[in-house]
Structure 1
Amino acid sequence: MTSLDAPSVSFDVVSPATGAVVGSYPIHTAAEVDATVEAARGAGQWWSALGFAERARRLDAWRGEIVSGRVELAHLMHEEMGKPLSDAALEIAMAVEHLAWAARNARKVLGPRSVNPGLLAFNQECTLEYRPFGVVGVIGPWNYPVFTPLGSISFALAAGNAVVCKPSEYTPGVGHWLARRFDLVVPEQPVLQIVTGMGDTGAALCRSGVGKIGFTGSTATGRRVMAACAESLTPVLMELGGKDALIVDADADLDAAAAAAVWGGMSNAGQTCLGVERVYVHTEVYDAFVPKLVSRAENVHAGTGAAKIGPVTMPKQIAIIRHHIEDALARGARAVLGGADTIDGQFVQPTILVDVPEDAVAVTEETFGPTLTVTRVRDMDEAIERVNAGTYGLGGTVFSRRNGRRIADRIRSGATSINAYVAHATIAGLPLGGVGDSGFGRVHGPDGLKEFTYAKATTRQRFPSPLALTTFTRGPATDKIVDRLITVLHGRKVS
């Protein structure tokens, strides 16, 4: 149930670390995608009819299957996209936490509940519930091939939808692995299916008539996904790129801030939409902070084996990273660590740039590599102004002992973490998503469950109203009573 029978055309997955072929997968055509979605329609009805409790039981069993196979899954992630095994294991741990939350909270968030009808409709019984779309299409990324797709898949499943997932062409094996484990606990129907291929396969999924598309990827690709979905008015959830900043106030714990900046900027070889790419440091502590940052980053190396970061997964990204570094240096920036000459094949060593102009591409565009720009600011007003000047608005981090909340509240982003990097993404009950070029819609938390449903309102008249309003028999006396009620209820002047 994980995919259709393999078509004649296939593609190879190549390890970015070794260049070896680690898998071969079918390129599903539009007709095959349509057939997969059609099979999912009946499966979605069956899955929805199971109810919240039974779905939660099945999802908990799937979580157990993922945990029992976590070593195998981590090795597969490592092979396909190069992530170190320890980071792959951490990603799996975070993913199952969110899967557990979705299963346990779906009924409370989405189930029927009463709504007060108000005085004018006091004879009505009102109910609100959130119903599944039926089939949800998920287009997943390669950089976090378990955690990120499951942010949509597990919440869509908990809400009662069937799911057709198109994983990235760089990590299709991870998608198949997750679906095979799901089939062990839901063998009756094709509730979770995988289609594989390139951009055309994803476009076919957008045009297949699914109830909603959940997309995670670059802003440029997101625009193409939206255009394809617009043809059929298919709603979309857009988790797009970022250019997140870390702010260091004068009273910050500099050691903690430096450690967070290095992890936020360099982990996963910088291939994180929530990754730190810009650092703004109060002038009073700038000269003390930069050496601490460099000292920590010097101990991080890209490579294989015990290296702390792996290769850059997409070969075409190397040129972008190189361009961002070289453009900054050509415009007067200094590399206090690394530089373009430390790029070797698909391995990019950590690079820290200072004195980078704010209109340089290293500041304005997503680099998606292990690089940081570090900028001195006179105060937090300037830091906030520079952070908010960009078109992205995904996340952000603030280090300050006394002013963290005041600074965070002024940052234009979907979330901000104070004195810890990206803590908001690890907490299953909080929504995750962005504004501006970082997209719209939310995964995780109650908002994430509601993303994969539509609101269904129902009223039932309990008894005839003495104030019959929606009828041509309504007379002047009724109008006068309504006018008096409105005056009493809403006509008071606010002092």
Structure 2
Amino acid sequence: MAPSRPDLDDTGLDDPDPVPDRFATPTTLSRRSPATGEIVGEYPIAGETEVGAAVERARTAATWWAALPADRRRTHLLAWKRGLARGADDLAALIRAETGKPLTDAGLEVMLAVEHLDWAARNAHRVLRPRTVRSGVLAANQRGVLGYRPLGVVGVIGPWNYPVYTPLGSVSYALAAGNAVVFKPSEYTPGVAQWLAERFVAAVGEPVLQVVTGDGGTGAALCRAGVDKIAFTGSTATAKTVMAACAETLTPLVVEAGGKDAMIVAADADVDAAAAAAVFGGMGNAGQTCAGVERVYVERPVYSAFVDAVRARAEALRPGAGDEADYGPLTMPRQADVIAGHVADALARGGRPVVGGADAVRPPYVDPVVLTDVPEDSSAVTEETFGPVLVINPVDDLDDAVRRANASTLGLAGSVFTKDTRRGAAIAARLRTGAASVNSVLGFAAIPALPFGGVGDSGFGRIHGADGLREFSRAGALTVQRFPAPLDLMRFDRSPRAVAMAWRVFRLRHAR
């Protein structure tokens, strides 16, 4: 659901050594709490040799896993699910330590991830089992069968902003489809990934899921290690680097990249409900949610009332490290510069600060920022900010709102608020996005049967739902001849009578 910045050429970590050896090759990651700066874990940096060995182990494990009856895989995955649920408190605490997000938000992420794992485990056989398809007139003597088979080994390069929910959207569905997985987590959240893998081994006992920790070089090695598919979550720029690495071996790829998601508020909307959703979608998780809300387009009759409602809610929010905080620090320190730059550009070009402003960025925290009347070509409108910043602009009508919402190269998600839900659904269908919600934000995230993914610079391919299971499978076509063909044209000695009859049938069916 959410993007990250696991850049292939930059770990993004501060060097813990005050007098570092700039010529030494680091062998471990020191993960620091973004809130306190304290080291919360040390993890090895896997190189090409270690990544290659993990993929080879996965190749052997994949053969065993794929050969299991579907109900046995389901049993193993549900046992893993129970292990995650029973250890949810520990997992949420680890998420909080590595990302800085409040414990309640970490717990919500775990709950959503477990729901998706449960759905994938319970529905994989139904979705992927062989099924008969119509044969048609020319092949009436054939029985057509469509089935889905595992790819083999899937490499998953995961994010830091939702280090359980987002990567498990690929990991769970790839495993349920019968694949082994090698998971390279973000260098910001390696401990969370190791915890997940340890619980999997405890439930299954085979290395069907492995974790390789490290920096960008580790991710690059995974792309080149001969896996059968890569699932990547991260920025559009890094996705292009990943694609280039995968192209060397024609390794297929599913990408979930960034978003600049828009909310549309109609004149008949419940203004308070829309404002509450906009503030949560834009500032929850410190704004580090790719499918949240960054832009809001409001019809003029309710524009002032909506801005006032958002102001009241945003001014009440407090970032911090304590349990009382509404959201935590920025997980990735260098994102502060991006946020500050977008706010500065908006203000310099005539944008009006309603809440916060240039002084809101005080690393590692960013106070809520609400801007209005921002030019549509400002970086605050055109580029992903990935911080607690909302841009609210008035529109003349809903057509204008749709046009502005779609005037972006990014297309991940969107939302529409209106009392007329039928009209809302029609407006949502016009948005150039992979997902949309009417009268909620992120509504699709909690429905495992719905696929998720973007268009344009937001990526391609789908995770979650039946489409997510098929994303990690290969379609297999099979025909079985039931009886000799009445008009057998698939031979060199076909009779002129059979050809003439086939032409006659063809014209009767298609030329009239």
- State how far apart, in whole Å, the 2-side matches of 1:448 and 1:212 are: 13
Q: Corresponding residue for 1:463?
A: 483
Work out whether residues 279 and 375 of structure 1, in 8 Å CA contact, stay in contact via their aligned partners in 2.
yes
Q: Does 1:425 align with 2:442?
A: no
Q: Does 1:270 align with 2:290?
A: no
Letter in 2 for 1:424: F
- TM-score, normalization by structure 2: 0.94
SS in 2 for 1:409: helix
Letter in 1 for 2:149: R
SS in 1 for 2:294: strand
Letter in 2 for 1:270: G
Out of 387, 412, 417, the position equivalent to 1:394 is 412
- State how far apart, in whole Å, the 1-side matches of 2:53 and 2:479 are: 37
Out of 77, 88, 94, the position equivalent to 1:76 is 94
- State how far apart, in whole Å, the 2-side matches of 1:70 and 1:409 are: 37
- State how far apart, in whole Å, the 1-side matches of 2:389 and 2:69 are: 47
Q: Does 1:284 align with 2:304?
A: no
Q: Does 1:193 align with 2:210?
A: yes
Letter in 2 for 1:303: G
- State how far apart, in whole Å, the 2-side matches of 1:245 and 1:453 are: 32
Q: Does 1:89 align with 2:101?
A: no
Work out whether residues 332 and 355 of structure 1, in 8 Å CA contact, stay in contact via their aligned partners in 2.
yes
- TM-score, normalization by structure 1: 0.97
- State how far apart, in whole Å, the 1-side matches of 2:162 and 2:70 are: 28
- State how far apart, in whole Å, the 2-side matches of 1:139 and 1:313 are: 17
- State how far apart, in whole Å, the 1-side matches of 2:316 and 2:502 are: 74
Letter in 1 for 2:39: V
Q: Corresponding residue for 2:504?
A: 484
- State how far apart, in whole Å, the 1-side matches of 2:492 and 2:275 are: 71
Q: Corresponding residue for 1:119?
A: 137
* Superposed counterparts of 1:235-250, under 5 Å: 235-250=252-267
CA deviations 1:183-237 (Å, max 9, x no partner) are 11111x2100000111111011011111100111111111111110011110000
Letter in 2 for 1:464: P
- State how far apart, in whole Å, the 1-side matches of 2:106 and 2:191 are: 14
Q: Corresponding residue for 1:46?
A: 64
- State how far apart, in whole Å, the 2-side matches of 1:66 and 1:26 are: 24
- State how far apart, in whole Å, the 1-side matches of 2:358 and 2:67 are: 56
Q: Does 1:319 align with 2:337?
A: yes
- Which consecutive residues of structure 1, in runs of 5 or more, have no partner in the other structure? 1-6
- State how far apart, in whole Å, the 2-side matches of 1:336 and 1:291 are: 9
The alpha-carbon deviation at position 8 of structure 1 amounts to 7.7
The alpha-carbon deviation at position 240 of structure 1 amounts to 0.6
Out of 154, 158, 167, the position equivalent to 2:172 is 154
Work out whether residues 393 and 436 of structure 1, in 8 Å CA contact, stay in contact via their aligned partners in 2.
yes
Q: Corresponding residue for 2:8?
A: none
RMSD between aligned residues: 1.0
Q: Corresponding residue for 2:21?
A: none
Work out whether residues 184 and 212 of structure 2, in 8 Å CA contact, stay in contact via their aligned partners in 1.
yes
The alpha-carbon deviation at position 141 of structure 1 amounts to 0.3
Q: Corresponding residue for 2:239?
A: 222
Work out whether residues 8 and 26 of structure 1, in 8 Å CA contact, stay in contact via their aligned partners in 2.
no
Letter in 2 for 1:443: I
- State how far apart, in whole Å, the 1-side matches of 2:99 and 2:319 are: 14
The alpha-carbon deviation at position 436 of structure 1 amounts to 0.3
SS in 2 for 1:352: strand
Letter in 2 for 1:222: A
The alpha-carbon deviation at position 406 of structure 1 amounts to 2.1
The alpha-carbon deviation at position 114 of structure 1 amounts to 1.0
SS in 1 for 2:297: strand
Work out whether residues 339 and 361 of structure 2, in 8 Å CA contact, stay in contact via their aligned partners in 1.
no
The alpha-carbon deviation at position 125 of structure 1 amounts to 1.8
Q: Corresponding residue for 1:259?
A: 276
CA deviations 1:128-148 (Å, max 9, x no partner) are 110011100000000000000
Work out whether residues 224 and 249 of structure 2, in 8 Å CA contact, stay in contact via their aligned partners in 1.
yes
- State how far apart, in whole Å, the 2-side matches of 1:290 and 1:99 are: 39
Q: Does 1:211 align with 2:224?
A: no
The alpha-carbon deviation at position 118 of structure 1 amounts to 1.1
- State how far apart, in whole Å, the 1-side matches of 2:313 and 2:471 are: 40
- Which consecutive residues of structure 2, in runs of 5 or more, have no partner in the other structure? 1-24
Out of 359, 362, 372, the position equivalent to 2:380 is 362
- State how far apart, in whole Å, the 2-side matches of 1:275 and 1:466 are: 59
- State how far apart, in whole Å, the 1-side matches of 2:326 and 2:306 are: 22
- State how far apart, in whole Å, the 2-side matches of 1:421 and 1:471 are: 59
- State how far apart, in whole Å, the 1-side matches of 2:502 and 2:44 are: 66
CA deviations 1:49-104 (Å, max 9, x no partner) are 11211111111111100011001100100010111000000000001111011011
CA deviations 1:395-427 (Å, max 9, x no partner) are 001001122122112111101100011101210
- State how far apart, in whole Å, the 2-side matches of 1:13 and 1:51 are: 40
Which of 376-385 and 403-412 deviates more? 403-412
- State how far apart, in whole Å, the 1-side matches of 2:391 and 2:149 are: 45
Work out whether residues 431 and 442 of structure 1, in 8 Å CA contact, stay in contact via their aligned partners in 2.
yes
Letter in 2 for 1:140: G
- State how far apart, in whole Å, the 2-side matches of 1:157 and 1:264 are: 30
Change (3 A) 1:312 1:8: closer
SS in 1 for 2:210: strand
Work out whether residues 130 and 456 of structure 1, in 8 Å CA contact, stay in contact via their aligned partners in 2.
yes
Work out whether residues 292 and 441 of structure 2, in 8 Å CA contact, stay in contact via their aligned partners in 1.
no
Work out whether residues 330 and 363 of structure 2, in 8 Å CA contact, stay in contact via their aligned partners in 1.
no
Out of 404, 407, 412, the position equivalent to 2:432 is 412
Work out whether residues 32 and 39 of structure 2, in 8 Å CA contact, stay in contact via their aligned partners in 1.
yes
Work out whether residues 418 and 424 of structure 2, in 8 Å CA contact, stay in contact via their aligned partners in 1.
yes
Change (3 A) 1:118 1:66: same
What fraction of aligned residue pairs are identical, expressed as a percent? 59
Pairs aligned (count):
485
- State how far apart, in whole Å, the 2-side matches of 1:51 and 1:319 are: 51
- State how far apart, in whole Å, the 2-side matches of 1:137 and 1:220 are: 19
- State how far apart, in whole Å, the 1-side matches of 2:430 and 2:471 are: 26
SS in 1 for 2:262: strand
- State how far apart, in whole Å, the 1-side matches of 2:371 and 2:117 are: 38
Structure 1 stretches (4+) deviating beyond 4 angstroms? none
